[in-house]
Amino acid sequence: MTSRFQVVPAAYVALVRDGVTGPEVLLQLRRGTGYLDGRWAHGAAGHVELGESVLQAAAREAEEELGVVVDPTDLQHVATGHRTIAVHQPVEERIDLFLTARSWAGEPTVLEPEKVAELRWWPLAALPPDVVPHEGGALDALARAAAHPPMSGPPPVLLTRGFDQTLTLVAAVGRNGVIGDGARMPWHLPADLRFFKETTTGGILLMGRGTWDSIGRALPGRRTIVVTRRRDWSAPGAEVAHSIEEALALAGDGEVFVAGGGEVYAQTIHHATRLVLTEVALEPEGATRFPHVDPAQWREVSRLPGEGDVVAWVTWERRRTT
């Protein structure tokens, strides 16, 4: 029997005005929220509260966050988003309702400066590249709708995100379970480096900052998301997240390759569908180990003989539960 689906509904408000070159939308630059900071988002947004309609919630958020009064009956529905991430928890199951207003009373102002670094009007035809990922599709739909008079444009769209996201853990593991000493790779295995490249090229890599530091750069042909607690950290070629959940929200649909380190493996193995493990015929010293692979939960589906200190490259798939 499957669990009942649980969702957290939220309302998003896009204020739209006519600009010199076409319609413009008011966006906020997030900061200090601990989630997707440094990215552009709708001017106002928030959870729908108990006993409140989505239209009432949108009008309330516009007043609380921007200081403008919006008549709920003037709001138009642009899109509905349904999203999740591979780390399935009730709080990550979301319904997002995107609404727009072309009329309001008052001048939009930042009323929550601890959460908003800037408000800016952007042409709908030239939005910034670093938009909160799940809001990007709604803004694209808004741009299409804004090209038509009210109520005669395209109908509201349904957006889904994250339901085709899967996690594959990729690691080289010594006979004693060690994968590192917390600072560097415990071995140099050219054949395994080639295998790692072949396995992950064209995909999304998710790793902790320690793993990034041990590699020292962004690997070509792959998108790299780095999880770090440091709010001021950045590096060329790396997208930064401050939790596993935020990293997976950035990643979107498709296969995400988790590349370490130990803490990141421990947080993701229970949600992974595949393990690609290199069995290494060495027993290095080190405190960082790969999590236990429970045969009751995992089944070996392929074993490719290795070379040198590589015993084999082994793929495991999660057993289906009845």
Which domains, ranges and CATH numbers included, belong to the chain? 8-161 (3.90.79.10), 165-318 (3.40.430.10)
Cα–Cα distance for residue pair 309/296, rounded to 1 Å: 28
The radius of gyration of the chain from alpha carbons, rounded to an integer in Å, stands at 23
Residue type at 51 in one-letter notation: G
- In this prediction, residue 303 carries a pLDDT of 97
Q: CB within 8 A of 148, min separation 6: which ones?
A: 154
Tens place of pLDDT per residue across the chain (322 aa): 456 667 779 999 999 999 998 999 999 999 999 899 999 999 999 999 988 999 999 999 999 999 999 999 999 999 999 999 998 787 888 999 999 999 999 999 999 999 999 999 999 999 999 999 999 999 999 998 877 665 455 678 999 999 999 999 999 999 999 998 766 788 899 999 999 999 999 999 999 999 999 898 999 999 999 999 999 999 999 999 999 999 999 999 999 999 988 999 999 999 999 999 999 999 888 888 999 999 999 999 999 999 999 999 999 999 987 5
pLDDT in tens, 232-281: 999 999 999 999 999 999 999 999 999 988 999 999 999 999 999 999 99
Beta strand residue intervals within 140-253, DSSP E: 157-161, 165-174, 178-180, 204-208, 223-227, 238-241
- In this prediction, residue 322 carries a pLDDT of 59
pLDDT in tens, 110-131: 999 999 999 999 999 999 999 9
Helix axes 133-146, 244-251, angle to 10 degrees: 40
